[in-house]
Structure 1
């Protein structure tokens, strides 16, 4: 069973926000000809709110991705510093496998 991470939750929220924004925009386009000034302004405010929420969710997702990337980088650096020979062996094995795959073509 897939585990729900903060990043996947944020991306789900972001997707929902953008879908709402698209729906609101489509609604504005469909009704723009028939709406009077006050109704049009209310719809524009609704779209602005959806866009603001989408931007906020996007920034939160970006921050979460940066934090996870930084944690992964620190963990990798820590492993390389504590196990340099194992890291060298793993890198050599990956290079050998890639070399074999490239020469097979």
Structure 2
């Protein structure tokens, strides 16, 4: 997700630099480029907002589970720790 976000930011920055360098050109292609740049910015904001919302929802679900079932959470954590320990011990 972070790689996609950084790639999109780089594309937007390159497009902005291209627009500044050709600011004197008022052709139809420049107008199309501006519109595509606006769309890319909008898509980037939507992507970021979506990622933040999903992360918050996952964190809230985990928090609710741990508060509703603390002993089960401890048992799951212990089981995962045991399995990781077994895997590390085999090497």
TM range (shorter): 0.5 to 0.7
- 70, 79, 92: which one aligns with 2:78: 92
The answer for the alignment partner of 2:64 in structure 1 is: 78
Q: How much does 1:78 deviate?
A: 0.8
Q: Does residue 55 in structure 1 map to residue 37 in structure 2?
A: no
Q: How much does 1:45 deviate?
A: 2.0
2 CA distance for matches of 1:59 and 1:99? 41
- Unpaired stretches in structure 2, ≥5 consecutive residues: 19-24
User: Which 4+ runs in 1 deviate beyond 6 A?
Assistant: none
Aligned pairs (5 A) from 1:9-20: none
- How many residues are aligned here? 73
The answer for the alignment partner of 2:30 in structure 1 is: 44
> What's the TM-score once normalised by structure 1's chain length?
0.59
> What's the TM-score once normalised by structure 2's chain length?
0.67
Q: How much does 1:42 deviate?
A: 2.1
Structure with more relative contact order (C-alpha pairs < 8 Å, separation 6 or more): 1
Q: How much does 1:52 deviate?
A: 1.3
